[in-house]
A and B are shown apart, each in its own frame.
Chain A
């Protein structure tokens, strides 16, 4: 049964519908792996054994009487522990919240239940989703996230548990979140597929708020197709979240005859590891079979990272005001987090408002650039996973990376897809990221499916698993 742990969602669905495996059996595989392997990667906060088995029994009974909820019916999954689940503590990675219970499920959990998925675990995360400015992997009360590819290396954050859990075959998919990099990093360091949806595509009701104008929830899974199926279940309007978009998301299918346009920003490969460069160029060669590629795009002349930084600092400080007032910041795990965030308390209102005003023309300029192509391609990150015992600013300081659209995309709500595209230093995963216009996840996912139809990186397993 262990081999089902690395199957894709459609493959598991076929086994379920042919009665070659039951939802209870799939849940048991995930539960056993979460309990046995989860601690090796500090990936799990709480295993929901009884609730998962109960849900799985219901899903089996439904299938037996002919009720099929769709592609996620009977599929196990986990959620980052900033997403509320009825009856289970939601800790946000911070000991100050260890026993806190929210009433009711987050919208994303409610929708996944409706789609038939079986929730098996709350997964680990960097404390407060990194909102206090952490600078090391140990910023997590459940221990530093470890990538299954080499547990001496960081799994990335802040969605560290979802990244490691999917990579190690503990769950077929997970829900993570990204404000600025929190799906990108764990997808890259753990060698999985992650989707940062358009801002507003997925309701955040019931999820911890870090930056109300930048937070996104998204799927982390084995393949682009898996991410598409999950997004199809969780996207859509929600009266509980006024930012949620009304437009439905229909999972795309690969269109063999379609020709795509891919752009590359000038300078994107500067100061990246040689293996990252090599794998990126190989990926472009491969994508060239289905796309015309231009390599001379220029990011519009706006201070995207500075804008995102000012907005994030101010909004996080406001979101965590109760922590500052109560003094519970002193109970955070990372020393730098205990003094972090105070700077956001004194962001000048004029600076925040100016950043918000500039955001609109900056987003329009980015959109004009993105409208020239179907996706901007770049390495997911300039290096492989960082050593766990090294402060971030001392891990590969010689490879800070080249021109990046990540800050701009997060500021402007543009989606991104992250795919493993090879092995780098020490056999660790390297990644490819595709960034597109808002609400073009379907195109990005099509491209991801085209890429994964021609490669086997998404099939590779970490050593020993």
Chain B
């Protein structure tokens, strides 16, 4: 099992009680997010089955560890959805061609 997949499996195991499902229901494929099977989800839990979902669940666990005392299960569910949407945006960013010679741009250019 790769390190990232291992971390995700730990995170999912911790998150499962918050989402009210057995950890088995959220178990990830050891191949990582790109090979993950759509997990079985309860009503009200993230149910997109997208490739981003396993990583979204892992990142939700970071949020839970940092701020969990203030967050309800339904909050965590909503946060997972938001993270998942963000990861899908990030996927689009990663798919775009980018040369390593481009300088890091901290702000928009003003070419006009």
Contacts and interface: CB of A to CB of B under 8 A. Distances in A.
A221 interface: no
A354 B105 contact: no
Nearest to A348: B90
B96 interface: yes
A213 B94 contact: no
Contacts, number: 130
Contacts of B105: 356-357, 359-360, 363
Contacts of B1: none
B108 A411 contact: yes
Contact of A310 (B74, B79, B90, B95): B90
A347 interface: yes
B105 to A, nearest CB: 3
Given A309-B86, A343-B79, A351-B94, A357 B108 contact: no
Given A133-B82, A309-B89, A347-B86, A437 B107 contact: no
A218 to B, nearest CB: 15
A360 B96 contact: no
Contacts of A200: 107-108, 110
A209 to B, nearest CB: 13
B110 to A, nearest CB: 5
A310 B62 CA distance: 18
Nearest to A412: B108
Contacts of B106: 213, 356
Nearest to B60: A346
Contacts of B89: 303, 305-306, 309-310
Contacts of A302: 96
Interface in B23-71: 59-60, 62-63, 66-67, 70-71
Interface of A is mostly: helix
Nearest to A443: B112
B95 to A, nearest CB: 8
A340 to B, nearest CB: 7
A303 B86 contact: no
Nearest to A409: B108
A158 B69 CA distance: 30
A360 B104 CA distance: 8
A364 B108 contact: no
B18 to A, nearest CB: 13
A370 B108 CA distance: 15
Contact of B111 (A330, A339, A438): A438
A439 B104 contact: no
Interface in A376-430: 411-414
Given A343-B79, A351-B90, A413 B104 contact: no
A345 B66 contact: yes
A61 to B, nearest CB: 40
A367 interface: yes
Nearest to A410: B108
Nearest to B78: A339
Contacts of A370: 112
Given A339-B79, A413-B107, 5 more contacts: A327-B70, A339-B75, A356-B106, A357-B105, A370-B112
Interface of B: 59-60, 62-63, 66-67, 70-71, 74-75, 78-79, 82-83, 85-86, 89-90, 92-96, 98-99, 102-112
25 contacts: A213-B108, A243-B107, A303-B93, A310-B90, A339-B74, A343-B63, A343-B79, A345-B66, A346-B62, A346-B63, A347-B86, A351-B90, A355-B93, A356-B104, A356-B105, A357-B102, A359-B108, A360-B102, A361-B102, A367-B112, A413-B108, A437-B111, A438-B108, A438-B110, A440-B112
Q: Give the 8 A-B CB pairs with smallest separation, nearest first.
A: A413-B108, A437-B112, A360-B105, A343-B82, A306-B92, A339-B75, A306-B89, A303-B92
